[in-house]
Amino acid sequence: MDQTSSHALEAPYARTLEHGSAGRPAIAAGGAPILSITGLTVVLAEQPETRLLEAVQFELRKGEFFALVGESGSGKSVLCSTIMGVASSELRCLGDIHIEGRRLSDVDRRQRAMIYQQPSLYLNPVRNIGFQLRETVQVLDGLSKKEASERAADLLRDVGINDPNETMRKYPHEMSGGMNQRVMIAMALAMKPKLLIADEPTSALDVTTQKQILDLLERLRSDMAILFVTHDLGVALQRSDRIGVLYAGQLVEIGRADLVARTPLHPYTRALFSAVPPLSGRPRRLHSPAGSLPEPTQRQAGCNFASRCSGRLDICRHTRPTLQGIPQQVVACHNLEA
């Protein structure tokens, strides 16, 4: 490993001394967590040796904004649908997911809600917004039609739609992506969720709308935990408390957003950050790691990143690293001492 990375390694330890026990732990959230995932492994039911997620472990607590980053195929969507309880029947899940200390299967569905990358695909095209929102409210709270309409209008106002009655008469194709995303968030809020999963909710939106939606989520976060899945490292750094990096189904690094940004420990995380163009100063050459993400069927016994890693050791070939480190930042890498 080169000189710069060994310098980078020292910084978080120094920060531990500064922050002491006040620092936010990387895996275990303080107090009773809202979401707690332990040893979650998801395999194909037909081929149990094909692992889509492997020993995923982290906790989220109330008010927290957790960004999950990783490239396509890393298992982000599998993780989201598993937590939502709508994973495909072709998958088998091992390990535990608890919401507020109760097993996922015993938890009321409305404890968790989800918003998506392309909201217009997740709204029924032949039903108007009012119908879909009212239905959600009616089914969840057993309200009358009139009460449901009022509650639906309130929810739309909550997400910044000023003419709720006009909006409720519209169909998804008559609205912009940003407006549809607000409607999706209103539907999620109707469930009064403890956990909101946001699967790249702003990737398909223009920058201005993106900021509005992020501000909206920021405003709502005090009542819930937000699991924010994104490709956008900038958004992750700016908005989140903690960042988790998913690579080939495994969480390879979890840490406080500022620490991960300043001193990324995993070579993959470092590679991700070096692939982001700098906003200020001199432009520099962008680096991306050679090779590509291994397919779930081709994963080896050792570290999944070994074949692309410049600092790999002999041990990386045959032993898979586990998460270790200081409370505020953990990493799954054998070569920390390099």
Partner 1 sequence: MRRNTRKIFASKIARALVTVVLMVTSVFVLMRCAGDPVTVLLGPDATADMRAAYSGELGLDRPILAQYLAYLHNIVRGSLGVSYVYRQDALGVVLSHLPLTLTLTCSALTLAALAGVAAGIAAAVFPSSFIGRACTVGTVVGLCVPSFFLAIVLMLVFSIQLNWLPTGGAESWRSLVLPAVTMAAASSAVLARYTRVAVRESLDSRYVLAAFARGIPFWRILIHHVLPNAAVPILTILGLLIGGAVTGSTVVETVFSWPGIGNLFVTSVGNRDIPVVQAIVLLAGTAMIMTNLAVDLGYTWLDPRSKSSET
Binding residues (CB under 8 A) for partner 1: these are: 84-86, 109-110, 113-114, 116, 118, 121-128, 131, 135-136, 139-140, 171, 173-174, 184, 187, 190-191
CA 47 to the chain's CA centroid: 27
CB of 85 to partner 1, least distance (A): 8
Side-chain-side CA neighbours of residue 301 (13 Å): 5
- Our CB check for partner 1 shows the closer of 140 and 261 to be 140
Q: How far is the CB of 230 from partner 1 (least distance, A)?
A: 19
- Rounded to a whole number of angstroms, the minimum distance from the CB of residue 64 to partner 1 is 21
Distance of CA 69 to the CA centre of its chain: 7
Residue type, 317: R
User: Nearest approach, Cβ of 234 to partner 1 (angstroms)?
Assistant: 27
CB 257 within 8 A of CB 15: no
Contact indicator for 55, 40 with CB cutoff of 8 Å: yes
Residue 42 vs 323, nearer CB to partner 1: 42
The minimum distance between CB 188 and partner 1, in angstroms, equals 8
Q: How far is the CB of 135 from partner 1 (least distance, A)?
A: 7
Nearer to partner 1, 131 or 273 (CB): 131
Minimum CB separation from partner 1 for residue 57, in Å? 24
**74/136 with CB nearer partner 1:** 136
Nearer to partner 1, 53 or 183 (CB): 183
Nearest to 241 by CA among 28, 13, 27, 24: 24
Of 118 and 212, which has the nearer Cβ to partner 1? 118
In terms of CB distance, is 88 or 288 closer to partner 1?
88
Which is closer to partner 1, CB of 1 or CB of 137?
Answer: 137
Report how far residue 210's alpha carbon sits from residue 40's, in angstroms, rounded to the nearest whole number: 31
- Cβ atoms 195, 83 nearer than 8 A: yes
Picking from 331, 309, 304, 330, the residue whose alpha carbon sits closest to that of residue 319 is 304
Name, in order, each residue with C-beta under 8 angstroms of 291's C-beta and a sequence gap of 6 or more: 307, 308
Nearest one of 225, 193, 190, 231 to 210, comparing CA atoms: 231
Closest distance to partner 1 from the beta carbon of 100 (Å) = 17
Measured from the CB of residue 154, what is the shortest distance to partner 1 in angstroms?
17
Determine the straight-line distance between the first and last CA of the chain, rounded to whole angstroms.
5
Nearest Cα neighbor of 246 from 3, 25, 56 is 56
Category of 38 on φ-ψ map: left (φ > 0), alpha (ψ -120 to 50) or beta:
beta
The three-class DSSP label of residue 130 is: helix
Judged by beta carbon, residue 118 or residue 274, the one nearer partner 1 is 118
